[in-house]
């Protein structure tokens, strides 16, 4: 039998999404064990002065 748990995590990084994903995984791995995978459900950006700021 396979048991799965879905945990919703929000993470951000000032540089890009490739930095935000590991930050989010590091955040959740402090309390969750045996994380075997992750998927990105939604992405949003904060803008300022015509450029992405976060």
First vs last C-alpha separation in the chain = 41
Instruction: Return all residues near 21 (Cβ < 8 A) that are at least 6 apart.
Output: 11, 38, 40
Interval 2-50: pLDDT, tens:
888 888 888 888 888 888 889 999 999 999 988 888 888 888 877 888 7
Dihedral class, residue 34 (left if φ above 0, else alpha if ψ from -120 to 50, else beta): left
Are residues 46 and 52 in contact, defined by beta-carbon separation less than 8 angstroms? Answer: yes
pTM of the entire structure? 0.66
Dist CA 33 CA 12 (whole Å): 22
Q: What is the pLDDT of residue 36?
A: 86
């Amino acid at each position: 039998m396979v048991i799965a748990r879905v945990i919703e995590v929000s993470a951000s990084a000032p540089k890009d999404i490739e930095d935000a994903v590991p930050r989010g995984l590091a955040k959740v791995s402090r309390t969750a064990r045996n994380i075997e995978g992750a998927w990105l459900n939604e992405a949003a950006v904060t803008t300022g002065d015509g450029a992405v700021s976060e």
